[in-house]
Amino acid sequence: MSRGSDPTELPAAKSPRPLGPTTIDSLGEDILLEIFLHLPSLATLVRAALTCRSWRRAVASSPAFRRRFRELHRAPLLGLVAEPQRDALPAFAPAQHRDRDVLAAIGGGDFALTALLDPQGYAADVPLHWHIQDCHDGYLLLANWDAGLLAAVNPLARYSTEYIDMPVSFSFDKERTDVPVAVDCHLLSSDEDPMSFQLVWLLYCKSKVQAVVFSSDTGDWFFHPWVEIEERALSNDADTHGLQFGVRSNDTLYWAFTNLEHVLKLDTATMEFSVSELPPYLKGLQGCRLVVGETKDGALCVVLCIGGSIFVSMNIADDDGVVRCVMRSVDYEADANPPEDIDTLQAISIVDGFVYLVTSEMVLALCLETMKLEKLFPRSFRARHFHPYIMAWPPSLVGNYGSFALIQDGVDNVSN
C-alpha cells in the first residue's frame, strides 16, 4: 500500500497564510500623531498632514498634539518684511532655507501682497501708502493713512485679506494736545482660532491712555474707558515722556517711554494697563531703540544694542522666589565697513524665546535661554525697519473652517 493511502497517517498541517504588510494607513491616530511629532518643522507637518483627509483630520481634531508640536519645534522664520518707501508695498526678503518644505511654503504664498493693488469693495485708486503696524500669527497688519484703512493680510492664505475702516475720533499728530493721539495698532489672534482676530489701538491724551479694540467677529470698534497714568510716567512731551512704538510679546503689549525710565503694559486678556520701571542703567541712553518682550516663561525682557554688543536684561526669580534684574551680554563682531545710514546692529523683535536682529549684512537670532547667537541668512536689501515673518499654523489644520470643517461623525465636510 502506498504511503499516501495509509489511513492511520495524519494529514499534513497547512502553512499559515502570510499576513499582509503593515502600512501607515493601518496605524491608529495616536501612533500616527506620535510619528508626526518627529517631523522636523511645521512646514513639513503641513505637507504631510494634507496628504489625505484622515491625516488632516487627526491633526485638526487634536489640540493636545498641536500644543506638544509647538513645544518641540520652533516655528520657522520664513523671512523679513521691510517697511516700504512711499508709493510702494512692503518688501519681503525670504530666508535662505535649504529645507524644501519651508521653501515650498514661501513659494506658495503671496508675499508680493498683490491683493493690496486692488482692495475689494474700495475705490480702485487707493494710494499705495501702506505702512507696517504689526506682524504676528501669520498676519501682516498694514495702515494706509491717506485712505483711512487698515488691512490684515495673511500671505500664506490667498484671497483672505480683510480691510477695516479706521476710527475717526482721534488724531495721528503727536504734536496735538487737545484731542486723543493714536500711537500704533497691534493684531491679536489665537493659535486655536486663526480665522478670528482683534486689533488694539493705543490712544493717549495728556496723562490718560485708552485701548480701542476692533473685533473681526463683530466688525465693530469698542472704546475702553480712559485710564489715568501718573504725570511723571507719561505726558504729551515726546522728548521726555512720550512713547516709543509698541511691541507684542505673548499676551502683553509694551510701549517704552522715550526717557527709558518706564514701560507701559497692556494685558490683552483683561485689557488692564500698568506701568513698570525699566532697569536704571537705561536712563542715560535716551534716543536708543530697545525691544521689550517676554521670555518663554513670561519674564520681562529688555534687549538693547550698543555698537557690536547685545545687552539683555531679564527679571529672573532666585531660589527664594525673589525676582531680580539680571543683565547678560553677547558681543557680535560688527561689519568692517557698515553703511553710515544703517545701524550696525539692531534688535527688531522677541518671539518665542528668541531675539531677532539685523546688521548691515546679516540676519541673526539670539536664544534667550542659552544666549547663543546664530547667523540665519544674509540681509538682501537695505531698509531701516524690519519685521520677522514667522510661519503660523494654517486654518486647515486647526478645525472647523469652511471647506476644512469637521462634522460630528468624523467625515470631512467638503462644502464651503
Per-residue b or e along 119-138, where b marks 16 or more CB atoms closer than 10 Å to that residue's CB: beeeeeebeebbebbbbbbb
In the block, cell 493717549 appears at: 204
Percent of the chain topping pLDDT 90 = 31
User: Among 299-303, 351-355, 400-404, which is the least confidently predicted range?
Assistant: 400-404
pLDDT digits 0-9 by tens, 249-307: 878 899 888 888 888 999 999 999 999 888 877 776 665 678 888 888 878 888 988 87
Phi, psi of 354 (to 5 degrees): -125, 140
Evaluate if residue 380 carries a pLDDT over 50: yes
pLDDT digits 0-9 by tens, 143-194: 988 888 899 999 998 778 899 999 876 655 555 556 778 888 999 988 778 7
Per-residue b or e along 324-340, where b marks 16 or more CB atoms closer than 10 Å to that residue's CB: eeeeeebebeeeeeeee
Are the beta carbons of 107 and 99 closer than 8 angstroms? no
**Which segments of the chain belong to CATH 2.120.10?**
74-399
The answer, as to whether pTM is greater than 0.85, is no
Are the beta carbons of 207 and 223 closer than 8 angstroms? no
3-class secondary structure, 36:
helix
**Cα separation of 389 and 188, whole Å?**
15
**Cα separation of 293 and 148, whole Å?**
29
Percent of the chain topping pLDDT 70 = 79
pLDDT digits 0-9 by tens, 302-350: 898 887 889 898 877 777 777 778 888 888 875 455 545 445 788 888 8
Q: Which residue has the higher pLDDT, 16 or 67?
A: 67
What pLDDT sits at residue 298? 79
First to last CA, the chain: 78
User: Residues, the chain, total?
Assistant: 416
Evaluate if residue 228 carries a pLDDT over 60: yes
Tell me how far the alpha carbon of residue 274 is from its chain's centroid: 23
pLDDT digits 0-9 by tens, 73-91: 989 999 999 887 767 788 8
**Cell numbers standing for residue 76:** 520657522
- Mean pLDDT, rounded, of the chain: 80
**Cα separation of 59 and 50, whole Å?**
10
Evaluate if residue 42 carries a pLDDT over 90: yes
3-class secondary structure, 27:
coil
**Cα separation of 347 and 351, whole Å?**
12
Angle between helices 29-36 and 42-49 (to 10 degrees): 150
Query: 181-190 and 386-390 as β-strands: parallel, antiparallel, unpaired?
Result: unpaired
In one-letter notation, the amino acid at residue 383 is: A
CATH for the 74-399 domain, from 1.10.4030, 1.10.10, 3.40.50, 2.120.10: 2.120.10
